[in-house]
Structure 1
Amino acid sequence: GRGREGAIAYISSLCALRRKGCILIGWILFISELQILMLSVSKPLLSLSPLTAMAIRPPPPRAPTHYAPPHRRTSPFRSAARAAPSSSTAATAVSLPPSPKKVLVPIAMGTEEMEAVILAGVLRRAGADVTLASVEDGLEIEASYGTRIIADKPIAACADQVFDLVAVPGGMPGSVRLRDSEILQRIMVRQAEEKRLYGAICAAPAVVLMPWGLHKGRKITCHPSFVGDLPTFRAVESNVQVSGELTTSRGPGTAFQFALSFVEQLFGLHAVEDVDSTLVRQNKTCISLFCIMPFS
């Protein structure tokens, strides 16, 4: 009995060992199969043609680009403030209108009031910046026929300024007093040397311009009372005589023509037409009718 039981136990132990060995062998075979499968997956299953290989080849790496920050929405008020130019930039960007023409009309005690006022009034209507400058100690002067005129500034304040035109009215003794002003003489001589416009009317061409030598090489006219003082070969009898930068005229009756000639030289013929239309000057026909049939 003991031998039988021992045999049965021996057989049972052999079966157990066999089962364990089978399990171990099974695990070894499973691991081997798994390794073979992994090796087969890592290699291409098919040999591809060159065209197919090029078709499925991944694209080459792209060159790095600069980083672009994400777009942020800004307030319209901030955008407007950022876009608004500075005052200095705006000033240079916007073309400024041309500065007005600068005109000097010197006056003195005894100046012919009609000539001074008509010169200033007509040129101001045309848009010129006119300065009435007194050569006297004060700004107020008494004109040749008692009219009191207040100047804008003394002549000394104009000594270093640049004028597009210097127009000298006549009258006596105003022309003599203008001639005796050293500051005015320097202004006029510089005006002629720098070839800017200058002129005189009535007695001033003979009394003021000639002693300063500003008539040389020019045709000039003046008041009939002073024509004899002019060089014979330079004197003309026209109401207005333009000779280069110099313009001269005869007296109060030609003051409007004198002033309008400067308007044309400074601003052009269209400005003369505009200003003249506001003056309502009488033409020859109107003067003749007025003489024949005076208004009651």
Structure 2
Amino acid sequence: MPGSARLRDCEVLQKITTKQAEDKRLFGAICAAPAVTLLPWGLLRKKQMTCHPAFMDKLPTFWAVTSNVQVSGEVTTSQGPGTSFEFAVCLVEQLFGEYVARELGELLLMRSTDDTHRKEEFNTVEWSVDHKPHVLVPVANGSEEIEIVTIVDVLRRAKVDVEVASVEKSMQILASQGTKIVADKLLSDAAKSIYDLIILPGGTGGAERLQKSRVLKKLLQEQNIAGRIYGAVCSSPAVLHRQGLLKDKHATGHPSVLSKLTNGVVNGAKVVIDGKLITSKGLATVTDFTLAIVSKLFGHARARSVAEGLVFEYPRNVR
């Protein structure tokens, strides 16, 4: 909401977007922004629109719809973080066509899966801790920005203490798609602390950089020896494998690395938990992955509450 309000108050942005609308070129908004930003600018007149459920009452009733994504002429609106993949792919389809959008959806691992295949768990143990969980997310040049941001965002919404630490010489990294991300600290400084959970984001180049970090290798080995939780998504389960941390464990990862993992590869699930190890395929499965962590740490009630705020469908068949 504060971000959407600041966008609304930016006169330069208003002029750019208004000109875009006048020229019948594409524009869009997601979450609170359709109601808080575009509507006051007068850019949603006679347009069907959607937004985050918390702001639906601000939209004109006749034109408001509850779909995840709504296209009305040149404007596309969407409900929230949990619908952002659909929103982005919808924009790609309008720009480049259905074939490109379908290909992108496959690359992002957006194929639909039954709720029963969202998660598989083996050797179940309790993850709950008697303090605010402390989580480390190491990042590197080439790490996947979708995964970094999703993991950090969802965990912080769940009131987890998350530190993002760069394995590079600088706190700023250049992520896999060219996004600049500034970490909280360098990994060498982060290594002075103990973490309840260490999560490796993916990205082929980033995983290779994480693999080369001696500091991270030591942290992961200590995490395993101490019986604390660790995990990885996308390409990074291969990092755990090379360090012997998937031995006798069930795991999954991005399709491109599955052949490099252990004999315990689980193909049909988005998220696999084995004791205090958690892995996921990556990209579009990372919200499921992070909500599974929230559920293990705090229970389904908090995970479901976070999912509702994201406008992300939480499995209905869990208690």
Please report the TM-score for the alignment, with normalisation by the length of structure 1: 0.61
2:177 counterpart (145, 166, 177): 145
Mapped to 2, the partners of 1:185 and 1:228 lie a distance apart of: 22
What's the CA shift string for 1:138-182, capped at 9, x where partnerless?
000010000110000000112121111101000020000001001
Which structure: greater strand fraction?
Answer: 2
Q: Are 1:234 and 2:264 an aligned pair? A: yes
Q: Where does structure 2 lack aligned partners over 5 or more consecutive residues?
A: 1-129
Alignment match, 2:301: 270
Alignment match, 2:310: 279
| Structure 2 counterpart of 1:127, one-letter code | K
Q: Are 1:124 and 2:135 an aligned pair? A: no
Partner of 2:256: helix, strand, or coil? Answer: helix
Alignment match, 2:220: 188
Q: Are 1:247 and 2:256 an aligned pair? A: no
| Structure 1 counterpart of 2:280, one-letter code | S
| Structure 1 counterpart of 2:195, one-letter code | F
The structural deviation recorded for 1:282 is 5.2
Q: How does 1:26-105 map to 2 (within 5 A)?
A: 99-105=131-137
Alignment match, 1:221: 252
How has the CA–CA distance of structure 1 residues 263 and 282 changed in structure 2, closer, same or farther, with 3 Å as cutoff?
closer
The structural deviation recorded for 1:243 is 0.3
Q: RMSD between aligned alpha carbons?
A: 1.4
Please report the TM-score for the alignment, with normalisation by the length of structure 2: 0.56
| Structure 2 counterpart of 1:272, one-letter code | A
| Structure 1 counterpart of 2:258, one-letter code | V
The structural deviation recorded for 1:99 is 4.1
Partner of 1:105: helix, strand, or coil? Answer: strand
| Structure 2 counterpart of 1:181, one-letter code | S
Alignment match, 2:237: 205
Mapped to 1, the partners of 2:290 and 2:131 lie a distance apart of: 20
| Structure 2 counterpart of 1:166, one-letter code | I
The structural deviation recorded for 1:211 is 1.1
The structural deviation recorded for 1:227 is 1.1
Mapped to 1, the partners of 2:218 and 2:314 lie a distance apart of: 40
What's the CA shift string for 1:163-212, capped at 9, x where partnerless?
11101000020000001001111111111111111100001001x10111
How has the CA–CA distance of structure 1 residues 161 and 145 changed in structure 2, closer, same or farther, with 3 Å as cutoff?
same
Mapped to 2, the partners of 1:267 and 1:185 lie a distance apart of: 28
| Structure 1 counterpart of 2:159, one-letter code | G
**Alignment size in residue pairs:** 185
| Structure 2 counterpart of 1:213, one-letter code | G
The structural deviation recorded for 1:226 is 1.1
Mapped to 2, the partners of 1:266 and 1:186 lie a distance apart of: 24
Mapped to 2, the partners of 1:166 and 1:229 lie a distance apart of: 21
Mapped to 2, the partners of 1:276 and 1:213 lie a distance apart of: 33
Partner of 2:257: helix, strand, or coil? Answer: helix
Mapped to 2, the partners of 1:144 and 1:135 lie a distance apart of: 15
Mapped to 2, the partners of 1:241 and 1:221 lie a distance apart of: 6
The structural deviation recorded for 1:100 is 1.8
Partner of 2:307: helix, strand, or coil? Answer: helix
The structural deviation recorded for 1:264 is 1.1
Mapped to 2, the partners of 1:162 and 1:268 lie a distance apart of: 23
Alignment match, 1:155: 187
Q: Which has the higher contact order (CA 8 A, sep 6+)?
A: 2
Mapped to 1, the partners of 2:296 and 2:313 lie a distance apart of: 23
Partner of 1:173: helix, strand, or coil? Answer: helix
**For structure 1, which segment, 273-282 or 253-262, has the greater mean C-alpha deviation from structure 2 after superposition?**
273-282
The structural deviation recorded for 1:283 is 7.9
% identity of equivalent residues = 41
What's the CA shift string for 1:76-104, capped at 9, x where partnerless?
xxxxxxxxxxxxxxxxxxxxxx6421000
Q: Are 1:174 and 2:206 an aligned pair? A: yes
Alpha carbons 2:307, 2:314 under 8 Å: kept = no
Alignment match, 2:144: 112
